[in-house]
Amino acid sequence: MNFTFTDDEIAFQDAAKKVSAEVLKNNAKHYDETREFCSDSLKALGELGFWGMNLPSEYDGVDISSIGMTLAVEEVAYYCAATCSSLTAHFLSTDSILIGGTKQQKQDFLPRCAAGELLGAFALTEPGAGSNPAEMRTKATRTEEGWHLTGTKHYITNGAYADFLVVYAKTDPEAGHKGISAFLIERGTEGIEYASPEKTLGLRGSHIYEISFDCVVPESALLGEEGAGFSTAMEVLDRGRVEIAAMSLGIARAAYDDSLAWSKDRVVSGKPLCRHQGIQWKLAEMHTQLEAAKMVTYKAADSRDSDRRFSVESAVAKLFASEAAAMITDNAVQIHGGYGYSSDLPIERYYRDARITRIFEGTSEIQKLIIGRAITS
């Protein structure tokens, strides 16, 4: 495919790069070392409209193409992957409303989300139901007051900081995945408890939580139609996997750029490190993986704007880009030697941040299942 970016896409990428270089870059190390939530960086993005880059202009979104959005997400991740994680988690919640919500729900929430006023969280995963959401145990039972939700969600990005949660629960336990519905639950609802944020390997400024529910919400909290939750979630994850691929690109590109610059400056045995064949080969492999990851990611982004399902394209992009990021960040540590293992440089942070991209929004193994079933059907 010919990926010639439009003027609007390039301008949007440049805007994302500017705010990320000026604000996010300076905060990234602080968030990693202190485990403070990335509020300031998210706020900076929200003030410039980046919280709405997945939304159409009808709801005050940026109305940029998926290619333009991918380029912007890549820039955010290049400077701070933790902020990128919280941002893309917000997109999962607003995509849920955009895809599955009623007209009133869209009008009530999406413009405020696009304006950076409301932060969302996507509550699908459970302690015993990660790769297979159909095994979830969270239930919603209709009552005179509306719906009674009980259960526990786990690894929910933005959790306690979110102004609203999109919670997936079984409204008909006997109907399998067709008995799953989604609910739009606002912050402050009585009967919701948040555990302390998990202490994670990477993305330390993007907090994840276990959330327990024993609450009653009004009938209006049902997102769209009863029983449509699983279908909504799968469409949302198709979109989200393109964003994780873009996030992987950003982390990988940062590691590659730093490694290339280091290899030119670092002198070993009387010549720059990059003049040693072993290092040249590592850099060549990193460059090739990065370029290939860009192609599958941009292809998936292009497919996202089509009128057809793009599950395979998004799975391919997420699988390849995340695995490429793992290889590139690992080689970056090796090229930097002991300096790469030290927290004085961001290399080891890239390595840690990249690890989760092979897990969330569906593990690499799940992506292989999606691809394998599609090509053999």
Q: What is the pLDDT of residues 340-371, one digit of tens each?
A: 999 999 999 999 999 999 999 999 999 999 99
Q: Which residues are identified as catalytic?
A: 361
pTM for the complete prediction? 0.97
Residue 288, pLDDT > 80, answer yes
Quickly tell me which residue has 């439009």 as its tokens.
Answer: 6
How would you classify the pairing of strands 208-217 and 271-272?
unpaired
Give the integer Cα–Cα distance in Å for 175 and 168: 15
CA distances from 44 to 21, 23, 40, 242 (A): 12, 7, 6, 23
| pLDDT > 90 in the chain, percent | 96
Q: Confidence band (pLDDT; 50, 70, 90) for 4?
A: confident
4 against 158, higher pLDDT: 158
Give the integer Cα–Cα distance in Å for 24 and 78: 10
Output the pLDDT for position 1. 62
Give the integer Cα–Cα distance in Å for 347 and 255: 6
Output the pLDDT for position 307. 82
Output the pLDDT for position 5. 95
Contact present, 313 and 337 (Cβ < 8 Å): no
Give the integer Cα–Cα distance in Å for 290 and 298: 12
Backbone angles phi, psi at 313, to 5 degrees: -60, -40
Contact present, 107 and 220 (Cβ < 8 Å): no
Count of C-beta atoms within a 10 Å radius of residue 14? 12
Largest CA distance in the chain: 80
| CATH, domain range 120-230 | 2.40.110.10
β strands within the chain, DSSP E: 120-123, 139-142, 147-157, 164-170, 180-186, 192-194, 208-217, 267-268, 271-272
CATH 2.40.110.10 domain extents, the chain: 120-230
How would you classify the pairing of strands 208-217 and 267-268?
unpaired
For domain 231-376, give the fold: Butyryl-CoA Dehydrogenase, subunit A; domain 3 (1.20.140)
CATH 1.10.540.10 domain extents, the chain: 7-114
Average pLDDT over residues 166-175: 96
Please provide the average confidence, as pLDDT, over all residues in the chain.
Answer: 97
CB half-sphere exposure, 207, CA atoms < 13 A: 21
Task: Read off the tokens for 263.
Answer: 């290899």
Residue 129, pLDDT > 80, answer yes
Local structure of 344: helix, strand or coil = coil
Which residue, 32, 43, 24, 1, is CA-closest to 306? Answer: 1
For 7-114, CATH number out of 1.10.8.60, 3.90.550.10, 1.20.210.10, 1.10.540.10 equals 1.10.540.10
Q: CB-based burial of residue 150 (10 Å sphere; 0-12 exposed, 13-18 middle, 19+ buried)?
A: middle
Q: Confidence band (pLDDT; 50, 70, 90) for 2?
A: low
Output the pLDDT for position 133. 86
pLDDT in tens, 67-126: 999 999 999 999 999 999 999 999 999 999 999 999 999 999 999 999 999 999 999 999
Which residue, 119, 57, 109, 62, is CA-closest to 88? Answer: 119
Amino acid at 287: H
Give the integer Cα–Cα distance in Å for 85 and 90: 9
pLDDT in tens, 210-254: 999 999 999 999 999 999 999 999 999 999 999 999 999 999 999
Which residue, 129, 165, 323, 168, is CA-closest to 244? Answer: 323
pLDDT in tens, 198-208: 999 999 999 99
CATH 1.20.140.10 domain extents, the chain: 231-376
